[in-house]
Amino acid sequence: MKLIVISLISGILFGIGLALSQMTNPDKVLNFLDVAGNWDPSLIFVMIGALIVTSLFFRKILKRQTPLFDKAFYLSSKSAIDKPLLIGAAIFGIGWGISGYCPGPSVAGLGLGNFEAIIMIFSIYMGMIAHRLYK
């Protein structure tokens, strides 16, 4: 039960951060990605903030035997850059560039009542189903 409550609080804080940084606004994201047109560089500060926090704490946290609120760390065992990773990254980037949404902001957008977020979440699930059928 404690893990569920901690997960809920973490998700709410993440969603608030996405909304405050306007990552849930697809127009803001698309303007950030449009470096040759109506470029809005303000989301660079969101990325710089995330990089600073990650670079300061990621390795320190992984030195622990276990996380604070779970039995183990859940990290990928893959370390190679392979064809499926590159194809998946390309599909992700194309989808983000077309829609202005990536998965986290899409879920947060659902909470804000964004119709585009519903379409994006539906598309994400269709992609997962297609992947399972292809595999």
Closest CA to 101 of 131, 132, 130, 124: 124
Specify the number of domains making up the chain: 1
Using the predicted structure, report yes or no on whether residue 135 has a pLDDT greater than 80.
no
The pLDDT tens digits of the residues spanning 64-122 come to 999 988 889 998 888 899 998 999 899 889 988 888 888 888 888 888 788 888 888 99
Domain span holding position 58: 2-134
Q: 39 is written with which tokens?
A: 């470029």
- Report the share of the chain in percent with pLDDT over 70: 99
pLDDT at 64: 93
pLDDT at 65: 92
Supply the pTM of this predicted model: 0.74
pLDDT at 113: 84
Distance CA 113, CA 47 (A): 25
Distance CA 125, CA 131 (A): 10
Distance CA 7, CA 23 (A): 21
The pLDDT tens digits of the residues spanning 26-55 come to 899 999 989 898 899 999 998 999 999 999
